[in-house]
Amino acid sequence: MKEERKGRRDFMGMALGACAAVGGVGALYAAKRTWDPLPSVKAAGFTTIDLSTAKPNELVIEKWRGKPIFVLKKTPQMKENPRDIVIGSDRFLVTIGLCTHLGCIPAYQKDNLLFFCACHGGKFDTSGINEPGLPPPSPLEIPPFKIQGTKLVLGEEGPEYKKMLADGIAV
Amino acid sequence: MAHFEKANSLGEWFEQRIGLSTLNRVLNTEYWIPKDINFLWAMGMLLAATFGLLVISGIFLLMYYKPDSNLAFDSVNYTIMSQVGYGWLWRHIHGVGASIIFLVIYIHMFTGIYYGSYKRGRELIWLSGMALFVAFSAEAFSGYMLPWGQMSYWAGMVITNLFSGGSLEAYGLVEWIRGDYVPGDAFLTRFFMLHVLLLPLAIIGLIVFHFGALRLPHVNNQQGAEIDFKEAAELYKAGKKKESKVIPFSPVFLSKDVFVMGVYFILFFYLVFYNFEFAMDPVNFDPADGLKTPAHIYPEWYFLWSYEILRPFGKDVGLVAFGIAQLALFFLPFIDRSPNVAPAHKRGLFVVWFWVLIIDMIVLTAMGKLPPTDPTFALIGKLAAWTFLALGPILVLITSFEKKIGKGA
C-alpha cells in the first residue's frame, strides 16, 4: 500500500474512533443521569414532625425520605449526651432508624433501654451510641433538622444541626 | 452472486442457502466427547434445560406482572396466583427453578474442581463459568425484588447498602443505584428491567461463550487423561466404536444426557407440584413495608455461605472478607500451582482440601440461616469464615508441593 494512502486510512480510522468515543462517553453520561433519583423524589425530602406529643421512654417512629425516624423523649434518668436535641427542658433522641451496619430497623426494647438490630445483632443505647464489638461501626445517624418551636423540620439544616456537624456528631 | 443449482428437495434447498448439515456436523455429530465420564457430566445440559424452563415460565409471568411498587405485590400474589389460569404453575416453576438451578450450578462447579477441569487450557471455561455464576446471582437477586414483599424490600435495602463501601459512606452511590433514598418505585422498575432483559441477555451471551470455550480443550474425563481427539474420532468414524475413546455429542452423549435429565425432571416437577414451599419464603407474603424490618433477615439458601462470611466481622472487615469470598473462586486456575489434571483422590492433599472446602461451605450455609443471637453458633460461623479465607493460601501451598503424576493414559 502506498504511504500516502496508508496515512489517509489511518486518519479516517482515528477520526471514526474519536467520533465514536465522544458519542460513547455522551451515551454513558445520559445512562448515568437516567439512573439518578428523579426531581420529584429529591423534592419530597422535607418532613415536619411535632415533638410536643411525645411521651418519655416511648419510641415514636416517623417517616422521612422513606426512612424511619426514631423519636425518643428521654426520661431524666437517661444519660445526657451532646447528640440530644434540647427543646425547653426536654431532651430528645432523633435519629434515622436504620442500623449503621446494613440498614435494618433496630427494635426498641423499652425495659432494657436499648435498640437491638435483629439482622446482625447490633445494639445502640438511648443516645443512639453503638455498643462496641458488634457489627455496627458508628452511632445511629442524626438527620438534618431545624427546630421551629416544638416542631422539627427534617431535611433542613438549622443552627443546632450545623453545630453538631461541626462537632463531628452528625455526618 | 454465487452459483446455485436448482434444489431437488426442501432439505437441499436449505443446505444450499444456510449449510445446516455443516452446522450439524460441527456442533453435533462430529463434536467428540470422551467415553470415560459419569452422570456428573450431564449437569451442563441440566442447567441449560432449567434455564430454558425459567425463560418459558418467566414469559408467562411477564404477561400479568406489574412492575409498580403499588401493584407488584397483588399482581403476583392475587392476579397470577388466584386469577390467571395455571398462573400458579408458572410461578412455582419459576421459584423452584431459581432455587434448584443453584443446586445444579454448585454440583457443576464442584465437579469441575474435583476433576481439575479448570486448568491446562480450560481456564476460560472456568472463568466464563464463574462469570455465569455471578450473572445468575444478580438475576436471582433482581428477581427476588419483584414480588415486592418484606423480604424483597429488606434484601434490597441490605444488599444495596453494601455499595456504600463501609466507612467510605458512599451513600450517593447507593441512592444512585436505587434512584431514591430507599428502595422504591424507581428501584423496582430498574431491577425489573435488569431481571427480564439485560441480565438474561448477558447470561445467554455468556452461555454461548462458555460452550465456545469448551470446544478446543474438549470436555474433561474421569481420569483427566489426555486424548488424541483426532485419532479417536477417526477410529470412531471408521466404525471401530469400541476401540475409540470418544463418542459424538449427538446422538450418543445427548441420549445419556436426556436420561439424566429425565430423572432430574421427575424430581423437579415433584417439587413444583408438591413441595414448592421451600422456594417461597413466608415472610415475603407480607407486602413491603419500609417502616418494619422482619425479625430475622436471611437470603435464599444459595447465598447463605457468602452472607455468613459477611456477618461475623465488623462492617469494613466484613465487606473485605465478603469481597474476597465472591472473587476467590475466580482465581482457582491460577492459585492451583500443580500441573496435574486428575481427579482429587489421586492428588494427595488436594482431596482433603476439596472436602474441607465443601464441609466448610455447608457449615457456613447452616450458620448463615440462624439468627445472630446465639454466641456458640456465631463462633462456629466465625471459625468457618476464617477457614474459608485461609483455604486460598493453603491451596497455593499444597499444590506447589504436589507430586507430578505421569500421564500414562
The whole-number pLDDT of residue B409 equals 43
Identify all chain B residues contacting A66, using CB atoms and an 8 Å cutoff: 180-182, 184, 290
Residue B199 C-alpha, separation from nearest chain A C-alpha, in angstroms: 17
Tens-place pLDDT, residues B95-121: 999 999 999 999 999 999 999 999 999
Question: CB B179 to CB A41 under 8 A?
Answer: yes
What is residue A1's three-state secondary structure? coil
Is the CB of residue A136 less than 8 Å away from at least one CB of chain B?
Answer: yes
Cβ-nearest to A137 among B154, B177, B316:
B316
Mutation target for B interface from A28, A41, A42, A102: give the one with most B CBs within 10 A: A102
Give the span between the Cα atoms of B240 and B242, in whole angstroms: 6
Q: ipTM of this predicted complex? A: 0.78
The residue in chain A having the minimum alpha-carbon distance to the alpha carbon of residue B164 is A102
Sign (positive or negative) of CA dihedral A111, B293, A99, A56: negative
Cβ neighbours of residue B398 under 8 Å, at least 6 residues apart? B348, B349, B350, B353
The whole-number pLDDT of residue B407 equals 56
Cβ-nearest to B297 among A36, A45, A104:
A104
**Between these two residues, A103 and A58, which has the higher pLDDT value?**
A58
Return the domain boundaries, chain B.
27-297, 307-409
The whole-number pLDDT of residue A46 equals 86
Cβ neighbours of residue B360 under 8 Å, at least 6 residues apart? B384, B387, B388, B391
Tens-place pLDDT, residues B230-272: 999 999 999 999 999 999 999 999 999 999 999 999 999 999 9
The CATH classification of domain B27-297, taken from the options 3.30.230.70, 1.20.810.10, 3.90.550.10, 3.90.1150.10: 1.20.810.10
CB pairs under 8 A between A and B: 86
Q: Identify each DSSP E strand in B180-273 by its residue range.
A: 246-248
| pLDDT of residue A154 exceeding 60 | yes
Return the domain boundaries, chain A.
3-36, 47-166
Cβ-nearest to A137 among B154, B296, B315:
B315
Residue B310 C-alpha, separation from nearest chain A C-alpha, in angstroms: 10
**Between these two residues, A52 and B302, which has the higher pLDDT value?**
B302
The residue in chain A having the minimum alpha-carbon distance to the alpha carbon of residue B160 is A102
Identify all chain A residues contacting B297, using CB atoms and an 8 Å cutoff: 104, 118-119
| pLDDT of residue B408 exceeding 60 | no
The arithmetic mean of pLDDT across residues A94-115, rounded, is 89
Tens-place pLDDT, residues B64-86: 999 999 999 999 999 999 999 99
Identify all chain A residues contacting B293, using CB atoms and an 8 Å cutoff: 104-107, 118-119
**Would you call the peptide bond into B251 cis, given omega within 30 degrees of 0 as the criterion?**
yes
Question: CB A137 to CB B314 under 8 A?
Answer: yes
Give the span between the Cα atoms of A51 and A90, in whole angstroms: 10
Give the span between the Cα atoms of B166 and B63, in whole angstroms: 40
Tens-place pLDDT, residues A42-87: 887 888 999 888 889 999 999 898 889 999 999 988 888 889 998 8
Question: CB A105 to CB B292 under 8 A?
Answer: yes
The whole-number pLDDT of residue A2 equals 64
Instruction: With CA atoms as reference, report the closest residue to A117 among B85, B154, B326.
Output: B154
What cell numbers appear for B115 in the block?
Answer: 476433576
Identify all chain B residues contacting A38, using CB atoms and an 8 Å cutoff: 179, 186
Give the span between the Cα atoms of A77 and B5, in whole angstroms: 99
Identify all chain A residues contacting B158, using CB atoms and an 8 Å cutoff: 102-104, 119
Identify all chain B residues contacting A32, using CB atoms and an 8 Å cutoff: 176
Residue A92 C-alpha, separation from nearest chain B C-alpha, in angstroms: 20
Fold of A47-166: Rieske Iron-sulfur Protein (2.102.10)
Is the CB of residue A118 less than 8 Å away from at least one CB of chain B?
Answer: yes
Cβ neighbours of residue B339 under 8 Å, at least 6 residues apart? B120, B404
- Residue A12: half-sphere exposure toward Cβ, Cα within 13 Å: 6
* Average pLDDT of the residues of chain B: 93
Q: What are phi and psi for residue A124, nearest 5 degrees?
A: -135, 145
Give the span between the Cα atoms of B297 and A108, in whole angstroms: 17
